[in-house]
Amino acid sequence: MDDSVRQHKYVLAEDQMPTTWYNLVPDLPAPPPPPLHPGRMDPVGPDDLAPLFPMDLILQEVTGDRYVDIPGGVLDVYRQWRPSPLFRAHRLEKALGTPARIYYKYEGVSPAGSHKTNTSVPQAYYNAKDGTTRLTTETGAGQWGTALAFACALYGIECEVWQVGASYDSKPYRRLMIETFGATVHRSPSDLTDVGRQLAADPANWSGSLGIAISEAVEVAAKDPKTRYSLGSVLNHVLLHQTIIGEEALLQLELAGDTPTLIVGCTGGGSNFAGLSFPFLREKLAGKIAPQILAVEPESCPSLTKGVYSYDFGDTAGMTPLMKMHTLGHDFIPDPIHAGGLRYHGMAPLISHVKELGLLDAVAVPQSECFAAAVQFARTEGIVPAPESSHALAIAVRQALAAKETGEETVVLTALSGHGHFDLAAYDAYLSGTLVDEAVRGDRFDESLAALPTVG
Amino acid sequence: MDDSVRQHKYVLAEDQMPTTWYNLVPDLPAPPPPPLHPGRMDPVGPDDLAPLFPMDLILQEVTGDRYVDIPGGVLDVYRQWRPSPLFRAHRLEKALGTPARIYYKYEGVSPAGSHKTNTSVPQAYYNAKDGTTRLTTETGAGQWGTALAFACALYGIECEVWQVGASYDSKPYRRLMIETFGATVHRSPSDLTDVGRQLAADPANWSGSLGIAISEAVEVAAKDPKTRYSLGSVLNHVLLHQTIIGEEALLQLELAGDTPTLIVGCTGGGSNFAGLSFPFLREKLAGKIAPQILAVEPESCPSLTKGVYSYDFGDTAGMTPLMKMHTLGHDFIPDPIHAGGLRYHGMAPLISHVKELGLLDAVAVPQSECFAAAVQFARTEGIVPAPESSHALAIAVRQALAAKETGEETVVLTALSGHGHFDLAAYDAYLSGTLVDEAVRGDRFDESLAALPTVG
């Protein structure tokens, strides 16, 4: 009888849950370039952001503090599913025949099924405290829309979600889950906004993008003083909220008595990756550990590996501040791949800055390799991963197989950011052999990169 | 700022996880009537069951031991998601404005998303130990098929699932998840079996039933010596495996410092309900606590409330042993309600016996009331319940509202047996107002009850 089905879970007690979020900025050798006002072209101040965000979140966006206290009310909600488990992937390792040790931090245990609740809850909390009665947002695959709908239901805030057309069409259950939580979902581009009507006129925009959906949600929020906007990734305060993942994982690897040689996460806007890796980067900068830190993106939307580091808009219509980031151009429309959460033209400015500082690496993978890893993971570890998370798994598998060849000691830590219960049509395509890899054409970026705004 | 969003979770450490399953039989004032051989009409012996089940499971089926050790290999797998959390439903209580305290044991944290893994893992474990290379089974809503597919993937056993036609058609994502775990799914009635071909000739059988799917899976297993059959509910050994739910809940309520006045669970075959309630019934029989123990079934398939207590077949074709149980007749085909897991004509013999002894009560509810409770639960507690589990929630809500009127101290404990991520089309029907309640027509049972087998 084979005993290799054993599973190791590293659990923290509730009173070991971190009570602060970690801000990487003060530990960096240089501060990140500031966002610029799109009209004035000078750094935006808190007042510029006030129409869209409550002041508590704006202050977190610009804080120089190393640690930010998590409010008691947010901790109370976090405790429904946190601390989240860290697993050693014994069964996957065995199937791969690798000497590598693979750990995954599983965020799919949250009510909404992904890491996104780590930030939706504090965002709804601070908005409720400030009297916001309605929040608008974008969503790609739907993980973020679900998470914000959940959080808004808790605090009695109305929630309106613009979902990227390609995902809206292919994932009806995601929309239904968001509606079950009481929120409203619109297919983006929609006819409810000026920008939606304008962009929908071009058939190339019909599948939508996160950039377009952001423009729509921002437009609606900007027009109504009781409505604010909520973003699921990219911004500093969102990355900040996600650092609870890495802080917990640090404690859990200590329980496991192990030290990672590679920390790998998928990147769309970058919040899951930053949440996992920044606390480890702090330890690396302090000379305590020396893992490689690796971001994985889809070949069809490779902002870190093929984009330029430049000021660009966060949305397609150019309504947001200009952010210095790795970008494929704000009007780039990625192929409608299954990992809808990774279809964003840019990258979090803070992650982009860290990459420029040489503190992280990036790699792009095709989706077929991701689904192959995801199915192997499901059949060994028992969890069906979100297509986004599968990008990190693909690299974990690559590294584990490499370790088998080289014999080099390899300890992989990855964040399994969410489950794929609403992505099974994509698994069906993979299993039935109809899933194709995105065409990777550099010339597609040329046009959108040529349209970057001129700064300074 | 409202602080009522707090959530209380009662967590057990891994080393507090029970290491034995509990067998209620020796604690009952009288033993349950034995199953009978369908040909000989005398009690079945272990050898009669050997073509379908490994001897370890057969011995558990008939054991008189009060406690059965959980094998170390099974405990290792359980630890991936167990001990499962017990939650106090503060947010639901507040929305109801009730003084009642509501606790729910959440089994949706398992990889397959329901309590069914508590038995699929030991069943696959004992089969693997015994050299079984293929397992066949039935599934209704798909929770059981998913759980067995997961367990078979762990132990390298081929898995073939007959899914009830009504569920196969309405829940494609369930089938896809089972396939992602590597199992094969057939729509039942299928043309792969004699019984399937025969029953499919009558259009009334086209929507299928658990009884039909069981017949098909049993037929295939009986024909091949390396293939065995696995059942997701009803049998003693299945109920036994589920008692880990109640054993954990007992410890967790002790942590909470509370004592239930009502224990409520949904019943299809009865394993989830038995798993939660039997350990509490032990304590009640010992005079330590005095909760009401209440089974909830759908109005369209009310075996406990409208069936007769009689010997009947477990499947539609009459291939299984005869079991003394509450039944609507083995050829009764329930309406295709959304709670596919509750569409079973009979009830676990052990639960039926306990009801005859006057140790539990039963009630039937219409599905609209269940979905109303489920949506309220989702919007407060953040978890979208399986339609099966929502039956117990409907009664929890009824009792909580009654407590508001009477002021009587009410402490409800329920098992939230699984999540409803694959049932969102049903939620859509409810939210859009197209969900209708099943017609409850007593005359529909008359025919199937008249066809009960004659015994003795």
Q: With H, G, I as helix, E, B as strand and everything else as coil, classify residue B261.
A: coil
Neighbour count for residue A52 (Cβ, 10 Å): 21
At A79, phi and psi to the nearest 5? -65, -10
ipTM above 0.90, yes or no: yes
d(CA A350, nearest CA chain B) in Å: 31
Portion of chain B with pLDDT greater than 90, in percent: 86
User: Is the Cβ–Cβ distance between B45 and B337 less than 8 Å?
Assistant: no
d(CA A375, nearest CA chain B) in Å: 6
Chain A residues inside the 8 Å CB shell of B425: 173, 176
Torsion, Cα A125 A126 A132 A138, to 10 degrees, reads -80
What number is the average pLDDT over the span A115-121?
98
What number is the average pLDDT over the span A74-89?
96
Of B129, B154, B378, nearest to A1 by CB-CB distance is B129
Of A6, A154, A179, nearest to B431 by CB-CB distance is A179
pLDDT grade, residue A45 (50/70/90)? very high
Task: Please judge whether B424 and A1 are an interchain contact, meaning their C-beta atoms are less than 8 angstroms apart.
Answer: no
How many A-B residue pairs are in contact by the CB < 8 A criterion? 140
Quick check: B3 pLDDT over 80? no
The tally of CA atoms less than 13 A away on the side-chain side of residue A267 is 38
pTM over 0.90: yes
Q: Which residues pair with B68 in a beta bridge?
A: B21
Task: Please judge whether A154 and B382 are an interchain contact, meaning their C-beta atoms are less than 8 angstroms apart.
Answer: yes
What number is the average pLDDT over the span A124-131?
97
Q: Which residues pair with A67 in a beta bridge?
A: A22
d(CA A248, nearest CA chain B) in Å: 17
- State the distance between the two ends of chain B, measured CA to CA, in whole angstroms: 69
Q: Is A36 on the interface with B (CB under 8 A)?
A: no
A-proximal residues of B, 61-90, CB under 8 Å: 73, 76-77, 79-80, 87
d(CA B5, nearest CA chain A) in Å: 6
Predicted confidence (pLDDT) per residue in A354-377, tens digit: 999 999 999 999 999 999 999 999
Task: Please judge whether B80 and A382 are an interchain contact, meaning their C-beta atoms are less than 8 angstroms apart.
Answer: yes
Neighbour count for residue B203 (Cβ, 10 Å): 7
Chain B residues inside the 8 Å CB shell of A14: 9, 11
Task: Please judge whether A173 and B421 are an interchain contact, meaning their C-beta atoms are less than 8 angstroms apart.
Answer: yes
Give the mutation candidate from A10, A116, A384 for the B interface (greatest B CB count, under 10 A).
A384
Give the mutation candidate from B5, B338, B370, B435 for the A interface (greatest A CB count, under 10 A).
B5
Predicted confidence (pLDDT) per residue in B188-242, tens digit: 999 999 999 999 999 989 989 899 999 999 999 999 999 999 999 999 999 999 9
Q: Which residue of A has its CA nearest to B71?
A: A3
- Provide the pLDDT for residue A440: 60
Q: Is B179 on the interface with A (CB under 8 A)?
A: yes
Q: Is A255 on the interface with B (CB under 8 A)?
A: no
A-proximal residues of B, 119-138, CB under 8 Å: 128-129
Q: Is A193 on the interface with B (CB under 8 A)?
A: no
Quick check: A439 pLDDT over 70? no
In this structure, CATH architecture of domain A72-113+239-450: 3-Layer(aba) Sandwich (3.40)
Q: With H, G, I as helix, E, B as strand and everything else as coil, classify residue B102.
A: strand
- Provide the pLDDT for residue A329: 95
- Provide the pLDDT for residue A103: 98
d(CA A334, CA A343): 6
B411 sits in which H/E element: strand B411-416
d(CA B358, CA A300): 64
The domain spans of chain B are 72-113+239-450
Of A3, A421, A428, nearest to B421 by CB-CB distance is A421
Quick check: A3 pLDDT over 60? no
Quick check: A25 pLDDT over 90? yes
Quick check: B113 pLDDT over 70? yes
Predicted confidence (pLDDT) per residue in B314-341, tens digit: 999 999 999 999 999 998 888 878 888 8
d(CA B197, nearest CA chain A) in Å: 27
Chain A residues inside the 8 Å CB shell of B9: 14, 79-80
Describe the crossing of helices B117-129 and B143-155 by its angle, rounded to 10 degrees. 40
Q: Which residue has the higher pLDDT, A41 or A438?
A: A41
d(CA B163, CA B141): 8
Neighbour count for residue A254 (Cβ, 10 Å): 11
Is the bond into A203 cis (omega within 30 degrees of 0)?
no
- Provide the pLDDT for residue B338: 85
Q: Is B173 on the interface with A (CB under 8 A)?
A: yes
* Cα angle for residues B122, B235, B367 (degrees, 5° grid): 105
A-proximal residues of B, 369-388, CB under 8 Å: 375, 378-384
Predicted confidence (pLDDT) per residue in B261-288, tens digit: 999 999 999 999 999 999 999 999 999 9
Task: Please judge whether B3 and A421 are an interchain contact, meaning their C-beta atoms are less than 8 angstroms apart.
Answer: no
Predicted confidence (pLDDT) per residue in A325-347, tens digit: 999 999 888 887 788 888 899 99
- Provide the pLDDT for residue B451: 84
Chain A residues inside the 8 Å CB shell of B128: 1-2
Predicted confidence (pLDDT) per residue in B359-382, tens digit: 999 999 999 999 999 999 999 999
d(CA A234, CA A236): 7
Q: Is A173 on the interface with B (CB under 8 A)?
A: yes
Tokens 């976090």 identify what position?
A78
Least confident of A41-45, A401-405, B420-424, B442-446: B442-446
